[in-house]
């Protein structure tokens, strides 16, 4: 069966609302955040309209109904990632908070002076800054896997950088948000397990969870983080997967209600994971919305979505060759559903403003990946990215818009 992109796009109110006129919206910024399907919006509205209450704090019917819906999402996430247990899933505000949770809980307890944290040259700031902060506090240092001119990590450097007993954490992106490089995560994890079995491994899956079938048990990662808003769900919700034995050894990083077992003025004992890491009233509506978004992805089929996005990527690569003075950043061996590029004629911000006049939405800037921009000697790039609803005519309009940019500034 052909991929039903027309019927899929019709499920997204923002795209439908902006589809008329001479300049229908070409939304090419799904790497930053995806648009939301009607079913996800309806699920959140239904919660607020029909059974709004808190979770785990009442025996009355509304609270029980809400708690069931809330925990059903946790089970759904565990299934989506093939986690061994739903108790390995912690709800957070997003990938950034998930990584900070690991840094400030696991890192604060287990890092010591002289330890090292290994990251890559392709990381988003959210997988750099938390490690810098905890490294400074604990007296640890950061090592970086370099990237070559194609945008691929130099994997041969890992054995040199990885030090058994010293490298306590490898924190690495699965798909780069700036170049689009899809790192060979399974291969990297196997190398680390062989050379330094005690090193813990965290995967930043913000850009891969919406596009690739994930199996944390097969990967054998210790931690994996993703955000709901990048996978057709709401903002303000994300997930941290962690092996249960590791979670159970980690102290809480926020204190408050729900994460406790017993509180006195002299001493507090903490609940078992995942509750230990979910202090306070949680983002209930957002969790329910995430559950609906995951159901939507599973209904369409994540592999089908991936195939469609790769077709859009291939089409974009061919069509953008027409644009005078356009340079795509990197030629990695495998690329996710995004392209970063520069124009000889105009700064990325100026180009993006002209594109906006044409109702074409792209991202411009350093994409919270300034070290990547420095490595490739560019101040910023234009980024076009694709999702389940992307269509070839959007790419055609991007090319036309860029040709207008070249004509104005050339």
**Active-site residues: which are they?**
368
The CA–CA distances, whole Å, from 68 to 55, 172, 232, 278, 287 equal 9, 34, 22, 17, 12
Angle at 198 between CA 195 and CA 203, to 5 degrees: 90
Question: Which H or E element spans position 342?
Answer: strand 338-343
Give me the sheet containing 167-173, strands edge to edge.
Answer: 89-92, 238-242, 223-227, 200-204, 167-173, 116-120, 141-145
What burial class does residue 63 get, using C-beta atoms within 10 Å of its C-beta: 0-12 exposed, 13-18 middle, 19+ buried?
A: middle
- Examine residue 230 and say whether the peptide bond preceding it is cis (omega within 30 degrees of 0): no
What burial class does residue 18 get, using C-beta atoms within 10 Å of its C-beta: 0-12 exposed, 13-18 middle, 19+ buried?
A: middle
Distance CA 202, CA 278 (A): 20
3-state secondary structure 98-167: HHHHHHHHHHHHHCCCCCEEEEECCCCHHHCHHHHHHHHHHCCEEEEECECCCCCECHHHHHHHCCCCCE
């Amino acid at each position: 069966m052909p991929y039903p992109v027309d019927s899929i796009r019709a499920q997204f109110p923002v795209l439908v609302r902006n589809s008329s006129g001479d300049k229908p919206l070409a939304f090419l910024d799904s790497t930053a955040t995806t648009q939301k399907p009607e079913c996800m919006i309806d699920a959140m509205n239904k919660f607020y309209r029909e059974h709004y209450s808190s979770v785990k704090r009442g025996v009355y019917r509304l609270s029980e109904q809400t708690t069931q819906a809330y925990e059903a999402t946790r089970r759904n996430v565990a299934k989506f990632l093939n986690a061994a247990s739903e108790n390995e899933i912690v709800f957070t505000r997003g990938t950034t908070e998930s990584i900070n949770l690991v840094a400030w809980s696991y890192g604060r307890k287990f890092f010591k002076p002289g330890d090292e944290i290994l990251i890559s040259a392709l990381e988003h700031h959210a997988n750099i800054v938390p490690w810098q902060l905890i490294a400074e506090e604990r007296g640890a240092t950061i090592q970086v896997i370099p990237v070559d001119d194609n945008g691929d990590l130099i994997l041969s450097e890992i054995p040199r950088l990885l030090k058994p007993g010293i490298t306590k954490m490898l924190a690495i992106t699965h798909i780069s948000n700036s170049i689009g490089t899809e790192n060979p995560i399974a291969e990297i994890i196997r190398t680390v397990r062989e050379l330094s079995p005690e090193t813990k491994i965290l995967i930043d899956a913000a850009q891969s969870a919406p596009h690739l079938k994930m199996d944390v048990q097969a990967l054998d990662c210790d931690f994996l983080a993703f955000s709901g808003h990048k996978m057709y769900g709401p903002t303000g919700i994300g997930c941290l997967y962690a092996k249960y034995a590791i979670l159970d050894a980690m102290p809480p990083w926020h204190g408050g209600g729900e994460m406790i077992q017993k509180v006195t003025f002299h001493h507090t004992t903490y609940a078992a994971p995942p509750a230990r890491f979910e202090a306070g009233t949680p983002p209930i509506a957002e969790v329910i919305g995430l559950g609906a978004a995951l159901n939507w992805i599973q209904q369409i089929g994540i592999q089908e979505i991936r195939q469609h996005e790769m077709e859009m990527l291939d089409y974009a690569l061919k069509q953008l060759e027409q644009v005078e003075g356009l340079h795509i950043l990197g030629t990695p061996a495998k690329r996710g559903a995004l392209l970063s590029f520069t124009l000889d004629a105009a700064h990325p911000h100026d180009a993006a403003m002209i594109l906006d006049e044409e109702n074409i939405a792209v991202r411009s800037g350093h994409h919270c990946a300034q070290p990547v921009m420095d490595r490739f000697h560019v101040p910023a790039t234009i980024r076009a990215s694709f999702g389940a609803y992307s269509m070839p005519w959007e790419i055609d309009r991007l090319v036309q818009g860029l040709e207008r940019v070249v004509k104005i500034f050339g």
